[in-house]
Structure 1
Amino acid sequence: MPESPKNLRVNPVHPAPHIIHKAGKILTDNGIVIFPAQCLYGMAANALNPVAVEKVFQIKQRSADNPVLILIKTPKILPSLVKQIPDPARQLMNRFWPGKLTLIFEAADHISPRLTAGTGKIGVRLPGHPVARALVNALDFPITGTSANISGDPGCTRTQDLAPAIMSQADLILDAGLLQGGKGSSIVDVTVSPPIVLRQGAVSSLALFNTIQ
């Protein structure tokens, strides 16, 4: 995609600080940023601001019964986002974070029901992609980690494949080139004992179970 004030090329390994700063300011102002989440491009918004979260649902045309996971910069902020952190969750975080593992926790009361889809549970991940890591590290709040696509459509590994509606409504697009695609994150519900693997993705069920035994 040609570079413009709205579409910025970003080094996928060493993103320029001024680009991350610009993206961070947009997110702080409740804007929408398209960024390389890991395998696919993601849609970032301030996960703690209802106005920003609502923009994500409107742009994606996402139904209210579909939750949205959040990305954090450090596990240290988890106590402000979830009700408890069970021991198996700590074991999984220690081994697989940052990386392709999403953990489902009981959401703190202040977390938007839009993010939890009314379930009271929230998906959380510590991103591994250098651009995503730089982005969350520059912010004092978690961001949404949903894919940058219209709900029901395939995710995008290139910014030029983004739906026109997403390109036009996003405030900034960080173009890191072609992403690897492949398996998404594995999802584990740690609100139950023993934890349940809801989706086997990049991390195998065997590796997950061996970690918490």
Structure 2
Amino acid sequence: MAKIGTDIDHAAALLREGKLVGIPTETVYGLAGNAFDERAIMKIFEVKRRPATVPLIAQTSSLGKAKGFVKQFSKEALLLAGKYWPGALTLVMEKSALIPDLMTSGGDTVGIRIPNHAMTLQLLSRLDFPLAVPSANIHGQKSPMTAEEVNEQIGDQIEYILDGGKCAVGFESTIVGFSNGLPVILRQGALSKENIESTINNTIN
């Protein structure tokens, strides 16, 4: 089984080597790998038994970094990011050339999030690449809320799980895409439709 600990530097070193690490967020625990490294991305799909047709979300530590991973932030995207990042909001925008096609299942858009968890923000700030971070569970099974639950599902396939305590929210982020500039909820999660509408002063689908 994986070692569970709180050593952020050790987790960062493993990720730089192309290995996978279980990490905490405020929503659920994630299975993290270098989002620029296709071998690490492939490992994520293999460990999770996740279909390659299901894209991965990238996590980073700042809006400035996030802007490098997409072609453009719309006015609405900037409003939402400004209010809800760090937080349980994933924004889907047209990806830049830095993001491998494997991350997006061949699509031209990528989901980006800044998680609201102090330990993981410290980890992300020490890396010069974003992390591909789906939930740290076998595909189709319950998303883990603790490091121990990660270990039960996939601990035999990764070396290290960063223990940040129990997740505060307990379910996944809301995913928001854009159509003709207006936000569209692609997955309802921790952030409500009403929160999003009030931020952009518009009704959304």
Q: Do they fold alike, i.e. is TM over 0.5?
A: yes
Distance 1:89 1:181 in 2: 23
Identity of aligned residues (%): 32
Question: SS of the counterpart of 2:139?
Answer: coil
1:166 aligns with 2:154: yes
Partner of 1:7: 3
**Residue aligning to 1:128:** 116
Within 5 Å, give how 1:13-24 maps onto structure 2: 19-24=7-12
- State whether structure 2 residue 136 is matched by structure 1 residue 148: yes
Q: Which amino acid aligns with 1:120?
A: D
Q: Which amino acid aligns with 1:144?
A: A
Paired with 1:24 and 1:126, the residues of 2 have a C-alpha distance of 17
Asked if 1:202 is matched to 2:198, the reply is no
Matches within 5 A, 1:39-188: 39-162=27-150, 166-188=154-176
Cα RMSD, aligned residues only: 1.8
The residue type paired with residue 130 of structure 1 is: A
Q: Is the 8 A contact 1:105 1:191 kept in 2?
A: no
Question: 2: CA distance between counterparts of 1:86 and 1:181?
Answer: 28
In 2: Cα distance, 1:123 partner to 1:204 partner: 18
Moved more, 172-181 or 68-77: 172-181
| Displacement of 1:175 | 2.2
- 2: distance between equivalents of 1:159 and 1:48? 25
Q: Distance in 2 between matches of 1:20 and 1:88?
A: 34
SS in 2 for 1:53: helix
Q: Cα 1:191–1:53, aligned 2, differ >3 Å: closer, same or farther?
A: farther
Specify the code of the residue in structure 2 equivalent to 1:85: F
CA contact (8 A) 2:5 2:160 kept: no
The answer to whether the 8 Å contact 1:149/1:163 transfers is: no
SS for the counterpart of 2:70 is coil
Gaps in structure 2 of 5+ consecutive residues: none
- Match of 1:195, SS state, is strand
CA distance in 1, matches of 2:178, 2:60: 17
Pick closer, same or farther for the CA change 1:23–1:36 going to 2, 3 Å: same
- How many residue pairs match? The answer is 201
| TM-aligned CA deviation for residue 37 of structure 1 | 2.1
